[in-house]
Structure 1
């Protein structure tokens, strides 16, 4: 008996006898191609501010997920057959789209099987997410420290993670929650900035059926309150099935976003733009998002013409926290062999190096005295495998 069916039958075994007819929905049936297990984040209904310690505040975002596939999905507490949920916060400021906060994984535990997606075919068990059914976790539940685990446990491409989590997030106002520095929120330091909160689900069956690319949605928020106790309120409606990076292009049509796919594995998105500084130089801005690649990235390289003047190299990442195992050292920069390049340690040297891992954006930037034109950039992959790097058509100094 396959593992998925075993868990579905286990979940049904604890439900009333009268709901066993729900098993007829498990593989969809009917005409048309099979979708398999597929979820989307359909709503981001609420926000919660936990408080502030020192110069750091913590928040969480509520999430509603819908079963849009043609299979009932196991949603079983205390196993790895439940959703792993993350929250991220991003800021768009001065033409730069950066991640300024991240939280630990929230482990799901019970499906409400509500009608938030339309007509829910209720399977009769909170250990299953039925066809057309929704399940909501409030912002407070998504920051419940008793149900948080490290991101390092999760392979977002396969959907596999251990349970119970290998680490506990701790207690207090901050641990495991989305942590943001005062300086990244203060309106006086961030004039004109726009902010976007993202909810992202990893579900084992969804990932194994190849449907993990539509699991992130985002919603614009604004900073309110008074110093130093800044808070966040909604400033728009949810944008479904699109990661927050796409808000950069939505707010600046000159931005280009392109997909990079690791063969047989996960997905990256690269956003980029070039800005004329009006003094004979151009600023090149790149935002690389790892949506669900477990192989992750350890290098980024932009070709530079011979004789070009390259100045103001920059790198931006987001801080891991609460005892997460990863090394947070910034990537090194080097201008050599015709490339402006950034890199972190190789996997063989440090498996916990600061690679670009799932659910995060890292930024790379340079100023150059050559105008933008077509270019082929390189993304070096972190974990062993083939290929060792990806190439992507974008723009760079010409």
Structure 2
């Protein structure tokens, strides 16, 4: 049985766990059969400007791996297209490729290219397509430090008709003293850096947004109605406090980062659990995981002033939170949040709509995973009145499921 043929079996169990009620904010759930191959994992979704949905993912390919993509139009997926295949791709459950489109029709995709023979040294690679992913241009490396070090956890955000912002975590100064030019005036830490790339392949100088961040948590970016850019990430202090911060770009100028909430989570290593941010008009929402005071929690905070300040957060988990959040604003007063919890020996993927002035009233169990692999980091994208959600799913065990044993599930909520 191929991984595609295993879909009906996977969703038989999934639909049995989803409570759908006429009064709930999430009114309906449907699944779509994505054109993924055996061993597919790490999906990332993106809403295209013309009303279609794009998904990128990785899967084994010959002796290496491939980053692939497909476009959903209506209820039908197009054929899978290969963005890149290589024996030296850096494939990681938490740091994965993405795809976006610009208003001028250009697609931009990013992935991570390993710097062999080093295990955890890799570069952000970006390529552009003007033909819906049928072909891709030359590779763009947004960081110009030319060091053999970690560059990853990137976010791509369209900011103009022909430009997009690229944000990433950068290890160029890690382990370097002040005699090393790239580390001058910066602490011995991971940095948050950014650059703007145009659809002709040119790009600006990369700049530091925060010179001391957590080392391996995802970044997230959005833009508010007035054009303010918001970047959420996990910060790090000299005392190893690793709370969530947001840095804003207002009228082209980057502001100083602000902590969303003083959780006070002191942890000596990276939790590999980044935040998610989204905006609608002047409103924005941030969701994140914390284990401050040894209490695991998924928290959500709203802003009504383009991300300048955030309200007191609320916890929405049920006591077994592992985080891996995503967030989607539905309008100026509601957000859809997804997160993962452990219940007994199973992972549970939850979804819930939350209002600015209310808690989570109608939590939904999207799936309960008892498989040999994790749902990893589920990701969302919105097309009109539907929100699509994709995650890595353990495939059915059997003689044909040996290769990494994963597939990708995609469902849509109608709200």
TM-score (norm: length of structure 1): 0.30
TM-score (norm: length of structure 2): 0.29
